Amino acid sequence: MKTAQWVYRFNELDRAEKKAGGFEGARALLGGKGVNLAEMTRIGVPVPPGFTVTTEACNAFLANANQFPESLWDEVLAAMQATEQATGKVFGSSANPLLVSCRSGAKFSMPGMMDTVLNIGLTDETAAGLAALTGDPRYAYDCYRRLVQMFGSVVLDIPDEDFEDILDNWKHKLGFTTDTELTAEHWQAITEEFKAIVKNHKGFDFPQDPYEQLRLSIEAVFRSWNGKRAVDYRNAARIPHDLGTAVNICTMVFGNMGETSATGVTFTRDPAAGERILYGDYLINAQGEDVVAGIRNTLPIAQLQKDLPEAYAEFLAICAKLEAHYQDMQDVEFTIEQGKLWMLQTRTGKRTARAAVKIAVDMANEGLITKEQALLRVTPEQVNVLLHPQFERAAEQQAKAEGRLFCTGVNASPGAAVGQVYFDADTAERMAKEHGQAVIMVRPFTKPDDVHGMLAAKGILTSEGGATSHAAVVARQFGVPCVVGAAAARINLETRTMTAGEKTLKEGDWLSVNGTTGEVFLGQLSSIAPDLEEQTDLLTLLAWADEAAARADVRPGHVGRGLQVWANADYPADARRARAYGAQGIGLCRTEHMFFEQSRLPIVQRMILAESSAERTSALDELLPFQQADFAGLFEAMDGLPVIIRLIDPPLHEFLPSQESLLEEVITMRVKGETDGLADKEKLLASVSALHESNPMMGLRGVRLSILMPEIVEMQVRAIMQAAAEVANKGLTPKPEVMIPLTGHVNELKVIQPRLEAIAAEVMQATGAKFHYKFGTMIEIPRAALTAAEIAGVAEFFSFGTNDLTQMTYGYSRDDAERNFLLKYVEDHILPENPFQTIDQPGVGRLMQMAVEDGRAARPDLEVGICGEHGGDPASVHFCHRIGLNYVSCSPFRVPVARLAAGQAVLQQR
């Protein structure tokens, strides 16, 4: 017994909606193209009669060894009879032939990824009949040769070049440059040669049964769902592979019937800039593929007003109607057949990031959509694109054509950078600062003591590392375009060269790094640098996002405010940039980065190597003014907003030369008999060796270091509080929050936090300043999350360090995992996402949710946020909103992205 309806005519949308549960269900059933043809029919837009074979039929066909499901062909035949009745034409008749197109149409637009066949129904007999009926044999045989060519390449898998070669030979022989110069006789002869190609390739004649043409064409479109380009496109666009494509059979209308006929493609707004103007082109006396294929020079759509003014006026009205109906910019295809306008497609138009923002804001201001709808029209990825310099597409295409693509890697930090290559941080900084060069710093991988070179660089390239490696994290923090893990690039630090394939560049050569795509080019590519202050539409949209986020539920810690976006910032300049980008606080200031500055590192090393507490305290006293000045700058930049400062976190060996390099130096000096400075080197090596740990990431760091060497964090807290007092006495409002990292047991806080609180009280009493401060901790060890109720009894706020929490929950070493197996895990769907890029909600996320709930049960006003790399990931932002966090914190350059994501999270949860 028949249980499914496989075919719906364009005037049966109500029936499809009833079966599928509404318009969106009908979109899944009929595909985007089919549902829009049916919707245009329903609202009175002129659409040629036709029908849609459903996506369910496609999936049934593919599941049944490429065989039509039962009754499908009978439904197609019945729908063809209805189409004949609607048009007054007969499929296969030579007296008044009906011709149809067969086009794909999945639920989500996949332009050009699947197959189309036009002019189905033409045979030797019907082509002659069409020539007699229209009195235009040139038009008839032009249509016939197009069918043979398209059917041959799409349905029969004959190389299209075989047909094009014949066409080119004819034009060359006749001295013609365009197809329009060919006459009816020429087209008739060419058609015969095309049919001979079919016979030679396939061993049978071109089908003369119109229904066989139709059946084979439908099968070909179904099969094209699993074609390589369609699969690759779906992978890139993250479109599910089980949706299937619908097939649309539509009555052919012809734009190649003379000077009163035309065909074109138009956007109802400019898809590049978003301006409210028609944007498209057309051709007189042509068929649709001529416009798309670019085989003739097209005309701008505005010219149609002069060529065919009545059709143009109707077209303008229909475009306005469609945009108002769908409440979005439309991409439409049309044909004018002897003065009569027909609409062949409408769909939501693809657009650039810039256009997406402008169109959303303009439509909201026009009253076509609401502000909330406008917010949901723009993706966080599009905002990200707008914030970073980008190479001009034409420049990249030209560079590829010239063979200048050098290597590819992980697109770790978006944006475009052009500079001269240098292979170490010191040289990179010197060439940038002393010589004013634009620098690309190239390293096998980066370390914390490379930060000064990274800050001086316009772009960064490493041959090792993943998306959350040191280079990637720092690059994103400072908005430096970065490509990591470019395995094809072989870096030779001795010869100061880098080789990929047969291309080699030396230090000082120019390189262009595209951190958005992960591509690296030889030479200099031109780029476009955006300015946020000039992007008024984006600023408007982000203000709406803030309004939406602020309307979220009232949360502990921030009375009356919803999810906020803060920034990770280590220096006053970062804080000012973050505030300019809309950050409502600093969620992470990493004090250790300040220690790596060239003027401070020797003092830090002297402090680490001190042999007595007095010697260590003396070095710390030298550091205190530096730290105090840094913190005062942050408080001034963030006047009235919270600033969370993390006390020293990394193990001390990171501030010293590597054990391997020191050992090599000592051995070399011994072998050469060099004694000058040898004793100092040996002493330093002994100290570094004493600090060596098998697993330093889980060793003496964070709160453990604070307990064993409390002088360090005591100095830091004194600097923080003295800076806050200094700023408060200027009439500003500092809001310091001191964060103790890596707590695993509440007793650790009970040991160190009272000592630090005493220093804070001492400074306030000594200075007479009045300001509010907090002490809290990072939750980055699973045990801390599991015992959050105990920890909240001491800590006044929690901040999730999701990078380390993910490492310790999974038992992964982040860099090792990304280098060795994690990317394959994601590719093979062992893991759904890279957990260092998007929060693992069932695992890491569950720990976070437990910590929030248990922590607030113990301390109802507990402030909770996130300061790991996940703070700028839109999916993670949505999760943080759902579990009730007060804020997410990310790099300054990700703040606008997170602001949009926060607003969208509130709207979508509603």
- Give 819: exposed, middle or buried? Use CB within 10 Å, 0-12, 13-18, 19+: middle
Helix (H) or strand (E) holding 596: none
Q: Virtual CA dihedral for 746, 876, 594, 607, nearest 10 degrees?
A: 30
Q: Tell me if 262 sits within 8 A of 283, measured CB to CB.
A: yes
What are the beta bridge partners of residue 740? 777
Chunk the chain into consecutive blocks of 10 residues (it has 910) and report each block's average pLDDT, rounded to whole numbers. Answer: 82 94 94 95 96 96 95 96 95 93 90 83 95 90 94 92 91 87 94 96 96 97 88 79 95 88 91 88 80 64 95 97 96 93 91 88 97 94 82 90 93 87 94 93 82 88 73 70 89 94 94 92 85 86 91 58 88 91 94 82 88 88 94 96 95 81 85 83 82 82 93 95 96 97 97 97 94 97 98 98 95 86 89 94 97 97 92 93 94 91 88
Q: List the Cα angle 211/111/412 in 5-degree steps.
A: 150
Q: Is 434 exposed, middle or buried (0-12, 13-18, 19+ CB in 10 A)?
A: exposed
- Determine which helix (DSSP H) or strand (DSSP E) holds 441, and give its type and residue range: strand 439-443
What pLDDT does residue 98 have?
Answer: 95
- List Cβ<8 Å contacts ≥24 apart for 730-735: 730/636, 732/635, 732/636, 732/639, 732/640, 733/639, 733/640, 733/771, 734/635, 734/639, 734/643, 734/771, 735/585, 735/635, 735/638, 735/640, 735/641, 735/642, 735/643, 735/771, 735/772, 735/773
Given a contact cutoff of 8 angstroms between Cβ atoms, the answer to whether 137 and 184 are in contact is yes
The rounded radius of gyration (Å) of the Cα atoms in the chain is: 34
For 552-595, what is the HEC assignment?
CCCECCECCCCCEEEEECCCHHHHHHHHHCCCCCEEEEEHHHHH
Is residue 297 within 8 Å of residue 364, measured between CB atoms? no
The encoded tokens of residue 153 equal: 């390449």
DSSP character at residue 127: H
Instruction: For strands 735-740 and 774-779, give the pairing.
Output: parallel
pLDDT of residue 292: 58
Q: What is the pLDDT of residue 835?
A: 94
Please state, in angstroms and rounded to a whole number, the distance separating the CA atoms of residues 751 and 703: 10
How many residues does the structure list for the chain? 910
Backbone φ and ψ of 586, nearest 5°: -105, 120
Which residue type occupies 731? G
Spatial distance between the Cα atoms of 292 and 286, rounded to a whole number of angstroms: 11
Q: How far is CA 225 from CA 6, 75, 230, 628, in A?
A: 17, 22, 6, 63
3-state secondary structure 675-737: CCCHHHHHHHHHHHHHHCCCCHHHCCCHHHHHHHCHHHHHHHHHHHHHHHHHHHCCCCCCEEE
- The secondary element (H helix, E strand) that includes residue 513 is strand 510-514
List Cβ neighbours of 753 (8 Å cut-off, separation of 6 or more): 740, 775, 794, 795
CA distance 372 to 288: 37
CA angle at 131 for the pair 125 and 137, rounded to the nearest 5°:
120
Q: Which residues are catalytic?
A: 470, 867
DSSP β-ladder status, 439-443 and 459-462: parallel
Nearest-5° angle of CA 519, CA 525, CA 530?
A: 90
CB atoms within 10 A of CB 365: 13
Instruction: Identify the pLDDT of residue 559.
Output: 41
Q: Rounded to 5 degrees, what are φ and ψ at 736?
A: -75, 140
- The Cα 838–Cα 875 span in angstroms is 7
Show the tokens assigned to 530: 């955006």
- Judge contact between 742 and 703, C-beta under 8 A: yes
> How deeply is 64 buried, as exposed, middle or buried, from its count of CB atoms within 10 A (0-12, 13-18, 19+)?
exposed
pTM of the predicted structure, to 2 decimals: 0.75
Residue-level pLDDT at 219:
96
Which DSSP helix (H) or strand (E) runs through 97? none
